[in-house]
Amino acid sequence: MTPPQDMTFPSASNYPRHKEYYIPTADLHLLVRGTRFRIHSSFLEEASLYWKEQINKRSYGLRESKPLRVDESPKDFARFCWIFYNPRYDVYKTSPKQWVTVLRLATKWDCPDIRKFAISYIKSAELDAMKKIKIFKRYNVPESELLSLYVQLASRKRMLTREEFCVLDEEAKFSVTQAREMLLEAQARSFSESSDVSSSGSVSSGGISREEKSQILSDVFGWDESSDED
The three-class DSSP label of residue 227 is: helix
Q: What does the pLDDT read at residue 222?
A: 74
Q: What does the pLDDT read at residue 200?
A: 40
Cα separation, 97 vs 114, whole angstroms: 16
**What is the span of the domain harbouring residue 221?**
129-227
Same domain, 120 and 87: yes
- pTM, two decimals, is 0.78
Q: Give me the CATH number covering residue 80.
A: 3.30.710.10
Q: What does the pLDDT read at residue 158?
A: 84
Q: What does the pLDDT read at residue 201?
A: 40
Same domain, 28 and 118: yes
Domain count for the chain? 2
The domain boundary residue, chosen from 124, 149, 176: 124
The domain boundary residue, chosen from 102, 124, 146: 124
Q: What does the pLDDT read at residue 198?
A: 42
The domain boundary residue, chosen from 124, 146, 180: 124
Per-residue pLDDT of the chain (230 residues; tens, 9 = 90+): 444 554 455 566 789 999 999 999 999 999 999 999 999 999 999 999 889 988 887 677 788 888 888 999 999 999 999 999 987 666 788 899 999 999 999 999 999 999 999 999 999 998 999 999 999 999 999 988 888 898 888 888 888 888 888 888 888 888 888 888 888 888 777 766 665 444 444 333 346 777 877 888 788 877 665 555 44
Helices (H), the chain: 41-47, 49-56, 74-85, 96-108, 112-124, 129-138, 147-155, 162-167, 170-194, 210-221
Q: What does the pLDDT read at residue 225?
A: 59
Q: What does the pLDDT read at residue 227?
A: 55
Q: What does the pLDDT read at residue 56?
A: 82
Cα separation, 177 vs 193, whole angstroms: 24
